[in-house]
Amino acid sequence: MCKIFEDYGKEVAQEVTKNVTKETLLTSVKALMKNLGLTVEQAMDALSIPHEERSDIKKMIALS
């Protein structure tokens, strides 16, 4: 039974880490856009955000 809780805890921790990372990237992209006048693409290039993650960031920007 403890193993089940350990595994669940690890899954939750991974999901929280993933969400916090995306929120941090979103904040950074928005700051670069505002402070340096970059486009969303330029800001993501500057942060070396992988192309497979960019659509999620764009969606989050559109919702914010």
Burial of 29 (0-12, 13-18, 19+ CB in 10 A): buried
At residue 1, the pLDDT reads 62
Domain enclosing residue 53, as ranges: 28-64
pTM given for the model: 0.77
46 to 5, 38, 40, 42: CA distances (angstroms): 40, 9, 10, 6
Is residue 61, in this structure, part of any structural domain at all? yes
At residue 19, the pLDDT reads 87
**For each of the chain's 64 residues, which pLDDT tens digit applies?**
677 778 778 888 888 888 888 899 999 999 999 999 999 999 999 999 999 999 999 999 999 8
Is residue 13, in this structure, part of any structural domain at all? no
The total domain count for the chain is 1
